[in-house]
Amino acid sequence: MYRVQGIIFDMDGTLVELPVDWREVIRRVNETLDVNVETLLDLFPRLWGTEKYMAASRMIEDFEMASLSNLKILDDSPRLLRRLSSNYQLGLVTFQSGNVAREILKKLDINLCLIATRDDSPTRSGQISMIVSTSHLRFEDFLVVGDLLNDVYSALQVGCHAILVDRYGRYSFDETENRFKVIRSLKELCGFLRF
């Protein structure tokens, strides 16, 4: 069980599934901007603060906006967020743009004040740090919930607790990996929290 006062959620892959063809996005970014990256997690820190970053972000946002009509809500996440909001300070981190994040939050009918996007920081640890620094809490008071190892390792790096949502069994861990919990669905989250 975790004794935390705040929970920071990753958005895409954790709360919702944004059906973007990420391979095509990366191909287009590489071709158009004359870069060679395999993932956007590599691209964002590499180009941060440059004109190429802004161009890449706008190009990616076009793909993201086009996919919003087919957005899939995962694990009844709006109801979970509303339930948790009465006991915890909630935050959101995402590598989507601010515009896309706001559109998704409208679709979820959720109002979150603590949000950090790729417009704010090119790394997950930077986004988590921004959320914590705008709250009245400490890093160890937050739990970060995400669907990628980058989410949980970034949380641990800055001193937060972490839970990995591994819906599709992509990862395997031995018994020595006990720095974070693994769940298959957001519906399991409340079992790790003390209300």
Question: Mean pLDDT in the chain?
Answer: 94
What is the model's pLDDT at position 137? 96
Fold classification of 6-17+74-192 is Rossmann fold (3.40.50)
Q: What is the pLDDT of residue 139?
A: 97
Q: Tell me what pLDDT residue 174 has.
A: 65
* Domain edges within the chain: 6-17+74-192, 22-69
Cα separation values, 179 from 9, 115, 140, 147, 182, Å: 18, 25, 13, 15, 10
The pLDDT tens digits of the residues spanning 170-181 come to 888 765 567 899
Give pLDDT, residue 1: 62
What phi, psi does 146 have (nearest 5°)?
-150, 170
- The pLDDT value recorded for residue 48 is 97
Would you state the pLDDT for residue 169? 87
For the chain, which residues score pLDDT lower than 50? none
pLDDT of 175: 54
